[in-house]
Structure 1
Amino acid sequence: MSHLTSPGHRRGVAARKAPLRLAVPGFAHPLVAPAEWGGLQRAGLPLDWVVLGAAAPTGPDSFAGGPGGRQDPYWLSAAVPLRSNGVRVLGHLDTGHGARPFGELLSDAQRFLNWYRVDGFALGRCPADAAGLPCTRRLTGALRTLLPGAHVVLMHGTHACEGYAALADQLVTYAGPWSGYRWSQAPAWTAGHPPERFCHLVHGVPLTHLDEALRIARWQGAGTVYVTDRTDHGGGRGALDPWECMPGYWDDLVSRIGPGVSE
């Protein structure tokens, strides 16, 4: 069982009654994973948002994902049905923990808008400390100038300092393995925000612990989740991307989050 501060515990009591939504941090390219992208097009799925163009970095100095150098018909065929079903499609912008040049990020964002008409942006490897606040504030402000009403998700992967909550619609405050998630804790400041402001992404969760993982998400006040049995096989530069394919228990996950939509 995860450990919570007292304010987080009080919020968790209320949050566990709220419905969860699913986020998809980005499958492999649709040419490689057509079944995964096709499965997301089923009407009625409890999807909050889906990331387009995501990919694992190939090294410590590389940037992951993005819109590419030209419009890709496969990405377009994945995005259009989702948007038609009312699902937010977000373009993936890898900030490189704040090291990515501002101009490159805006250029990628513009291409996502021109080619795929995205509804917002997911900022991968977003800084989480106070030092990263100014550059993140500048970037999120510019993105909302490009796309008024853009849905912006900061993918920290860990609990960031509270100042980031004012910059985005949602913060990804956990992205990692089940071994760490089951003992994780939410800081006290998160209790002052509703569950829809937080998302948790957890890999390596066995089917036998699926219900427990969803309980932890609710207790910690996360309104959006993605849980998978896929793993990164120990991490490191040669690791697999646990998000690139659909969980083996996808229908079980959907039925626990959105009753009545799983076949």
Structure 2
Amino acid sequence: MRVRSRPFLAVAGVAAVVVATAITLIVTGGGSGGSTGGSGGTGPVCAQLVVPAYFAPQYWAQAAAAKPPPADMILDITGVGAGTAPQPRFQALVRQAQAAGITVLGYSSTVDGQRPVAQVEADVRDYAAWYGVTSIFLDRVSGQPQQVPYYRQLASYIHQAHPGAQVWLNPGVYPDQAYMSIGNVVMVFEGTYAQYVAAVVPGWAKSYPPADFAHTIYDTPAADVTNALRLATERGAGHVYVTDGSGSNPYQALPSYWPALVASATGGCRDPR
């Protein structure tokens, strides 16, 4: 995520896992299709909860135990990509998540389009070989038109290497519209609740389905969670995360109101899976 400069993680066995500021986890509750509609069953489809997190392993279990369970997690080993060697502890966590039916995506920073393509492609190969992970979350996406060929090349490589894989992009703001044809999901807001209240959605975004967009809202007081979720729905976000975390790393733990957030986001709706 773009909020902070992320350190590399030197892993030495299980002890290093506790120093989990380099783990990124994105959790999506429910299936695709946003917060309304859907075929089969009754009631609206559950809102998708996205949890960008740099936190200790126990939060994996807490997030995965949510009802409905998460659909997607993003694994970040180093703060940049897959690292130089597989980490057994993370391999076990990925297997557990996949056994629960969760799709795990591998984190790779593009450094605003300045990271060499070959390094990102190496992340794609290593996540697949070491963790059985084929979908990719590209972070620090520039969102600028001059980098469109760079990101199109990366997305093409991922899809060719792993047909059916997802490509998530995180510019953190609404990018040049050409990026919408590159990513399966684009994270178009990442900021504080105060910033979110004042945010403006460009007119072109309304022509895309909610499933194409993710919003991440941090420094959100408990009293404002309902309003944040309402705004996200009104603004066409199919993937949403709300947390009271703040500071240089607002994702180091689940929000203090995690159970209530899950209930608020998914109450009265159905899990389409």
Task: State the TM-score, normalizing by the size of structure 2.
Answer: 0.79
Q: Which of the numbers 213, 226, 229 marks the counterpart of 1:211?
A: 226
Cα distance in 2, alignment partners of residues 48 and 171 from structure 1? 17
> 1:153-164 to 2 correspondence within 5 Å?
153-164=168-179
Name the aligned partner's letter for residue 257 of structure 2: Y
| Offset of residue 54 of structure 1 | 6.2
Measured at CA, do residues 54 and 171 of structure 1 come closer, stay the same or move farther in structure 2, by a change above 3 Å? farther
Cα distance in 2, alignment partners of residues 66 and 242 from structure 1? 20
The farther-off stretch of 150-159 and 251-260 is 251-260
Cα distance in 2, alignment partners of residues 13 and 35 from structure 1? 28
> 1:78-117 to 2 correspondence within 5 Å?
78-117=93-132
Q: Which residue of 1 aligns with 2:58?
A: 35
**Partner deviation per Cα, 1:86-137 (whole Å, 9 max, x = no partner):** 2221100100000000101111111111111114010000121111111010
Q: Which residue of 2 aligns with 1:123?
A: 138
Mind listing any 5+ residue stretches in structure 2 that lack a counterpart?
Answer: 1-33, 38-43
Kindly indicate whether residue 212 of structure 2 is the aligned counterpart of residue 197 of structure 1.
yes
Kindly indicate whether residue 238 of structure 2 is the aligned counterpart of residue 223 of structure 1.
yes
| Offset of residue 34 of structure 1 | 2.2
| Offset of residue 14 of structure 1 | 7.2
Partner SS, residue 199 of structure 1: strand
Cα distance in 1, alignment partners of residues 113 and 92 from structure 2? 31
Aligned Cα root-mean-square deviation (Å): 2.2
Name the aligned partner's letter for residue 20 of structure 1: A
Question: In percent, how many aligned pairs have the same letter?
Answer: 28
The farther-off stretch of 69-78 and 93-102 is 69-78
Task: State the TM-score, normalizing by the size of structure 1.
Answer: 0.81
Q: Do the aligned residues in 2 keep the contact of 1:128 with 1:156 (CA within 8 Å)?
A: yes
Q: Which residue of 1 aligns with 2:70?
A: 47
Mind listing any 5+ residue stretches in structure 1 that lack a counterpart?
Answer: 1-11, 56-63, 233-238
The farther-off stretch of 78-87 and 217-226 is 78-87
**Partner deviation per Cα, 1:52-90 (whole Å, 9 max, x = no partner):** 0166xxxxxxxx332122111221222122222222211
Partner SS, residue 226 of structure 1: strand
Name the aligned partner's letter for residue 170 of structure 1: V
Cα distance in 2, alignment partners of residues 197 and 118 from structure 1? 21
Q: Which residue of 1 aligns with 2:262?
A: 254
Measured at CA, do residues 109 and 147 of structure 1 come closer, stay the same or move farther in structure 2, by a change above 3 Å? same
Q: Which residue of 2 aligns with 1:20?
A: 47
| Offset of residue 46 of structure 1 | 4.8
